[in-house]
Amino acid sequence: MEAPVPHSPAEPGSVQIVVTSPEQMRELGRRLAKLLRAGDLVMLSGELGAGKTTLTRGLGEGLGVRGAVTSPTFVIARVHPPLGDGPPLVHVDAYRLSGGLDEMEDLDLDVSLPDSVVVVEWGEGKVEELTEDRLQVLIHRAVGDTTDEVRQMTVTGVGERWASADLSVLAA
């Protein structure tokens, strides 16, 4: 399964994880879902093909939401209602949005956030103003002509919500 990245100390409030397959990325998403609740913002960063949508697919499975979680690249955002008592999942792909929070306001994320888990791919510089509390997930992968499935990830909690969260459970 995943293991902490050797010789790379995580800063306080963060954990580093190595993922070696898409199924492990989905499993990580399922584990991450257990830490999330309505009002949480998760920002996903990484190169094209890094596994952001695969991680979100696992999150959707872990949250128990309706509908297949696929990349919302062309529709910008998808809402996946819960099948049970959990929060809905709002999955946003901000890759095509050039503006900051002004452009994001059209999506009404500030309205959705208190009642939902909001996951934003490519949200750097665009959604930080939504809340002081967020989980930042940075996914690094080999680039170029490679079939390497290894991903080195850093998961960092920002703000009071994540100050006492034990993110090390993600590396289990």
For the chain, the domains span 22-160
The pLDDT score that the predictor gives to residue 104 is 57
Residue 153 pairs with which residues in a beta bridge?
17, 139
DSSP state letter for 65? B
Which pLDDT score is estimated for 119?
Answer: 94
Residue 171: predicted pLDDT: 86
CA 27, CA 1: separation in Å to the nearest integer?
9
Are the CB atoms for 133 and 158 separated by under 8 Å?
Answer: yes
Sole residue written with tokens 């529709």: 75
The helix (run of H) or strand (run of E) holding residue 126 is none
- CA 151, CA 130: separation in Å to the nearest integer? 28
Cβ(42)–Cβ(72) below 8 Å? no
**pLDDT for residue 112:** 73
Sheet holding 117-121, edge to edge: 14-19, 151-158, 134-141, 41-46, 117-121, 89-93, 77-80
Amino acid 2: pLDDT? 43
pLDDT per residue, tens digit, the chain (172 aa), is 444 433 344 456 899 999 999 999 999 999 999 999 999 999 999 988 899 999 999 999 999 999 889 887 666 788 899 999 999 999 988 887 666 555 555 566 666 778 999 999 988 887 888 889 999 999 998 776 666 789 999 999 999 999 999 999 998 7
The residues pairing with 3 across neighbouring beta strands, listed in sequence order, are: 18
CB 101 within 8 A of CB 74: no
d(CA 23, CA 57): 10
Predicted TM-score (pTM) of this structure = 0.85
The string of pLDDT tens digits covering residues 8-56 is 444 568 999 999 999 999 999 999 999 999 999 999 999 888 999 999 9
Question: CATH number of 22-160: 3.40.190.10, 3.30.1370.160, 3.40.50.300, 3.20.20.100?
Answer: 3.40.50.300
